[in-house]
Structure 1
């Protein structure tokens, strides 16, 4: 037997304390489960300081993996529950997965019928072919804001920061012969493909990624996007002018 590899990942980013009802909605719509990660970040519509003091908005990031046949209805349920079509409520995007392991129970089921969204749900996922990319930047702790500032200057809408840890070949720190794992920050930047090169270059220059030990960045193509209607509408208007 072989695994059904027609799987997708839906990433949802919302404000803190908003994730649980979205996970419940996803499960009711056919998802096996979801993982919630805690993050911080800001967009162009969120104030970044108060009386000169920087403000870091707490976020929750939800990872949901499901078959393509049911992903549309899962996305619909999440968008409806979280009101992601309203400005400032959050964003979501799907990524096609090349290979998945650890889900042996999700084998091909010949009796499973394809489940698609009805006509009443068509406004949830825009039909227009607006291609987006996800830029993932991994830097040392304290450098994430520099990544976001550089991306904003190049035309990005904002970014989401995840905390992590790890080490590279240029990082060999230890204390009393005990290895130390340097703290990291992972920045997720959703960007229209026409701006990907410019934003990626701005991040590379702003953070100095071309220098050893400064960090890395890579680009992942995104399938569908929700929660940024104002961006999509602007792009559609420009293409029709």
Structure 2
């Protein structure tokens, strides 16, 4: 495995049935392709219940890996295609990749493509120097609601839940010699770095992560965020 630091991962989260046009926009901007995951989520601007019944909004999560020299183009065109600059349309964020393997043609060292100038457009949010983190919490199925509720109370905007499977040392590996893969839920929480410690602590207490077998949570640095203009505007006003 080669150590490569020129690739990034662009994660965009949109409403169901919106991912296809974002993937098309990313490919036109230079991406090799993308992976779509199906999820559910909620935010502070979405209704939590309808007639007393909890509401879970279906989402699509798009994972796009590309070199840094084309990532700006991808962000620009995906933001336009998904109207991510408008409230409630979705969000996107970029993570740096420390290592990458499995796509040999991208790991070769051909001459980098020439940079393409991006025309200024008022509809696309400019890059801001405001630090964000991504809190990733992995819990047993049914506990994602506790994660989101705890994070909201601590100041988060919402969260996205992915279904998953997994096993740990505290879980039975088989039942009557039949392998068991306990169902899990992965919660993605995008948060301003000033609130990370508080939100992470709230999640720990709300779910009981300090107890064995309850789950884990970890924090990743976010290189850039798009699609949460209202949050950035509020943070600017606070800083001023």
Comparing 186-195 and 101-110, the one that deviates more: 101-110
Q: Is the 2:5–2:96 contact (alpha carbons within 8 Å) kept by the matching residues of 1?
A: no
Q: Matched residue of 2:66: which SS?
A: strand
Structure 1 CA distance for aligned equivalents of residues 135 and 3 of structure 2 = 29
Q: Matched residue of 1:93: which SS?
A: strand
TM-score, length-scaled by structure 2? 0.95
Stretches of structure 1 that go unaligned for 5 or more consecutive residues are none
Q: Matched residue of 1:120: which SS?
A: coil
Structure 1 CA distance for aligned equivalents of residues 22 and 118 of structure 2 = 21
Segments of 4+ in structure 1 off by > 6 A?
none
Partner of 1:108: 109
- Displacement after TM superposition at 1:189 (Å): 0.1
Partner of 2:11: 11
Partner of 2:214: 214
Structure 2 CA distance for aligned equivalents of residues 127 and 166 of structure 1 = 37
Partner of 2:79: 79
Structure 2 CA distance for aligned equivalents of residues 157 and 4 of structure 1 = 33
Deviation track 1:16-50 (CA, whole Å, cap 9, x = no partner) reads: 00000100110011000000000000000000100
Stretches of structure 2 that go unaligned for 5 or more consecutive residues are none
Structure 2 CA distance for aligned equivalents of residues 153 and 216 of structure 1 = 19
Q: How does 1:38-187 map to 2 (within 5 A)?
A: 38-106=38-106, 107-110=108-111, 112-121=112-121, 124-187=124-187
> CA RMSD of the aligned region, Å?
1.5
Q: Is the 2:85–2:125 contact (alpha carbons within 8 Å) kept by the matching residues of 1?
A: no
- Displacement after TM superposition at 1:128 (Å): 3.0
- Displacement after TM superposition at 1:122 (Å): 7.9
TM-score, length-scaled by structure 1? 0.95
Q: Matched residue of 1:105: which SS?
A: helix
Structure 1 CA distance for aligned equivalents of residues 135 and 89 of structure 2 = 21
Deviation track 1:135-183 (CA, whole Å, cap 9, x = no partner) reads: 0000000000000000000000000000001000000153321121110
Q: 1:215 to 1:25 in 2, by over 3 A?
A: same
Q: 1:167 to 1:41 in 2, by over 3 A?
A: same
Tell me the number of residue pairs that the alignment of Structure 1 and Structure 2 aligns: 238
Partner of 2:33: 33
Structure 2 CA distance for aligned equivalents of residues 147 and 204 of structure 1 = 8
Q: Is the 1:125–1:224 contact (alpha carbons within 8 Å) kept by the matching residues of 2?
A: no
Partner of 1:21: 21
